[in-house]
Amino acid sequence: MPEDLGGDFSCGMAALRMADGNGYVKLYAYDPDRKACLLERLGKPISQLGYSVDKQLQIICQTLQETWKIPVNNTELAVGNTVWFEKFIGEAYEKLEHPCSDKVMELTYFYLKSRKADENKDEFVLVHGDAHNGNLLVTLPGDGFKLIDPDGLFYEKAYDLGVLMREWVEDYGQDPLKRGKQRCEYLHRMTGVSEQAIWEWGYIQTVSTAFVLLQIGQKDTGRKMLCVAENWVNDVSHK
């Protein structure tokens, strides 16, 4: 994958080496110069298996909880932070000629400051970084699931769960705020991760991913994500 879209190759390979096939696709060999790797063969992603959104969330969370336990050498991983988001969101907002309201931007920066303030490196784990339903594939025997394409981050668990808040925007229906809070609480119940941290990363991920999609031509999905963010900005209970 291109470095600007697929993450850092060396960090991704480091994550796969550490996992050694546990919860992540098995890495057999790789060439850092060519950015090529030989991986275990897997089946279809869960996005193609006909599962409900709740079932997909359950399977992804179960897999993540296992991978969060993997012993890590954090010197080989990228340490997560809010700096990239602050820079990218600000630049994209101007480049896209202000595609959302000022309130959305204000709350996004507020949540970025909150996540930075709450950082506790003693609780950092190996996080995937983009564990959506296209990156979790069934094993060939059909007896389990494994993640592919990790970013290779050493960061807080809520970062992974924030990705799940931005996905399946159609499932939020006519009441994105209510449905969003329900999903956030569901993720909290399944993982024990702070509901507030999940919500904040969910908001940040929704806005930043919308900006990415708008820039690469997937405007319909990008606008839907921003519509969700506009609805979520009214949730004073999470401020």
State the pLDDT at residue 74.
82
State the pLDDT at residue 8.
83
pLDDT tens sequence for the chain (239 residues)? 445 444 588 999 999 999 999 999 999 999 988 889 999 999 999 999 999 999 999 999 999 999 999 999 888 999 999 999 999 999 999 999 999 999 999 999 999 999 999 999 999 999 999 999 999 999 999 999 999 999 999 999 999 999 999 999 999 999 999 999 999 999 999 999 999 999 999 999 999 999 999 999 999 999 999 999 999 998 755 44
- Beta-carbon count within 10 A of 161 CB: 30
What's the helix, strand, coil split of the chain in %, to 5?
Answer: 55, 10, 35
State the pLDDT at residue 35.
87
State the pLDDT at residue 165.
98
State the pLDDT at residue 88.
96
Token pair, residue 155, equals: 């960061």
State the pLDDT at residue 236.
56
Is 38 buried (19+), middle (13-18) or exposed (0-12) by CB count in 10 A?
A: exposed
State the pLDDT at residue 7.
58
Residue indicated by tokens 């399977």: 59
- Does residue 203 contact residue 111 with C-beta atoms inside 8 Å? yes
For 24-57, give the DSSP string: BPPEEEEETTTTEEEE-----BGGGTT--HHHHH
Long-range pairs for 165-172 at CB < 8 Å and ≥24 separation? 165/198, 165/199, 165/201, 165/202, 165/203, 165/205, 165/206, 166/202, 166/205, 166/206, 166/209, 166/225, 167/132, 167/133, 168/53, 169/221, 169/224, 169/225, 169/228, 170/224, 171/53, 172/228, 172/231
State the pLDDT at residue 4.
45
- Does residue 147 contact residue 23 with C-beta atoms inside 8 Å? yes
- Does residue 48 contact residue 135 with C-beta atoms inside 8 Å? no
